[in-house]
Amino acid sequence: MKATLILLLLAQVSWAGPFEQRGLFDFMLEDEASGIEPYKQVLPPDHMEPMVPMCPFRCQCHLRVVQCSDLGLDKVPRHIPPDTTLLDLQNNKITEIKDDDFKGLKNLHTLILVNNKISKINPGVFTPLVKLERLYLSKNHLKELPDKMPKTLQELRAHENEISKVRKTVFNGLNHLIVIELGTNPLKSSGIENGAFQSMKRLSYLRIADTNITAIPQGLPLSLTELHLDGNKITKVDASSLKGLTNLAKLGLSFNSISAVDNGSLANIPHVREIHLDNNKLTRVPVGLAEHKYIQVVYLHNNNISEVGVNDFCPPGYNTKKTSYSRVSLFSNPVQYWELPPTAFRCVYVSGALQLGNF
């Protein structure tokens, strides 16, 4: 802790504000005609070179944040201060990330490359970034996720690229990843290698929406709390792909082609609170809702559900430990709300929770 603080202080001394102070010292020393060269004593030699704070042309550098967005840049600029913690290069025209583009940026925590034209990232590029936690690559032309991403990475966003394959090896050793966003990529189910996400023991949020995957990926990490797979071509919820996901709280499967939810699927995600299955092809209410203790939100609108059983949503009897639903939607299904059994929602105590009619 102490060491970190000292490092941070040193980093600040070597760049940013204190340069003005140098000027001041200079002036005082000159006045005294002491002839001492002050910098050599105070600062290590490699920090002596720049007489003005280093900042890439036209970028703005402040408090170790380097802001180079919207500048029409076609490559990563030179002279990025070595103590930079956040580098923002979004909305430019960068096409390639070259080997030494991020050389020496060992304090970088966040790298924003969103909305460029990047199709190539050279393999060793991230090696110097030993503290990188957030890498934002969305809206580029990447065909694959880059290799050798820093092991310190916690958040990876790469939606709206041209990624068609997700290889397991890409995530090797990335044990700190918490968030992965891969939506709007031309992925097919076969493009996601089995168990691709499995080794990430802290992964909590995974979003692969608006792709062409036809099944829930197999071998998802048991740490997941949110899984967002909306807008895909998934045809079925198979229980095996949800096995062991006891931390899952939110499951998004809207706008797929799901016609069946395996019996046992909901039992495999015992702590789920919210399920979105609207805009699919379900013909019945998923089995297991009534027994499930914690589900509060169930979206089933825009399906092909033609009947609802008296025990589809609520367990038999009244005296149960089930958490009340806070939102259930069933509109735009062939079943008419006046055909619903009057007691089907006896365990819904929250007023306004039900959306049944088509109005």
Ligand X SMILES: *[C@@H]1O[C@H](CO)[C@@H](O)[C@H](O)[C@H]1NC(C)=O
Site for ligand X, rule CB under 6 A: 184, 186, 210-212, 263, 281, 283, 287, 304, 306
Q: Which residue is nearest to ligand X (CB)?
A: 186
CB of 324 within 8 A of CB of 301? no
Beta bridge partners of 66: 61, 87
Query: In the complex with ligand X, which residue's Cβ is closer, 155 or 210?
Result: 210
Q: What is the CA radius of gyration of the chain?
A: 27
Min. distance of Cβ 317 from ligand X in angstroms?
Answer: 17
Residue type, 189: S
Residue 318 exposed, middle or buried by CB count within 10 Å (0-12, 13-18, 19+): exposed
CB nearer ligand X, residue 96 or residue 291: 291
Task: State the nearest-atom distance from the C-beta of 283 to ligand X, in Å.
Answer: 5
Residue 61 DSSP class: E
Tell me whether residue 199 or residue 304 sits nearer to ligand X (CB atom): 304
DSSP secondary structure string for all residues of 249-299: -EEE--SS---EE-TTTTTTSTT--EEE--SS--SSPPTTTTT-SS--EEE
Q: Shortest approach of ligand X to residue 212 CB, angstroms?
A: 4
DSSP H or E segment with residue 358 = none
Write out the DSSP string of 182-247. --SS--BGGGB-TTTTTT-TT--EEE--SSB--SPPSS--TT-SEEE-TTS---EE-GGGGTT-TT
Residue number, 113 or 163, with CB nearest to ligand X:
163
Closest separation between CB of residue 181 and ligand X, Å? 14
Cβ proximity to ligand X: between 88 and 312 the closer is: 312
Taking the complex as a whole, the smallest distance from the CB of residue 138 to ligand X amounts, in Å, to: 14
- Least separation in angstroms between residue 128's CB and ligand X is 33
Q: How far apart are CB 259 and ligand X at their closest, in Å?
A: 8
Nearer to ligand X, 127 or 306 (CB): 306
Residue among 68 and 234 whose Cβ is closer to ligand X? 234
Whole-number Cα distances in Å, 291 to 59, 82, 237: 58, 57, 18
Closest distance of CB 265 from ligand X, Å: 10
How far apart, in whole angstroms, are the C-alpha atoms of residue 298 and residue 260? 15
Nearer to ligand X, 88 or 230 (CB): 230
- Quick check: helix, strand or coil at residue 83? coil
Residue 111: strand pairing partners: 87, 135
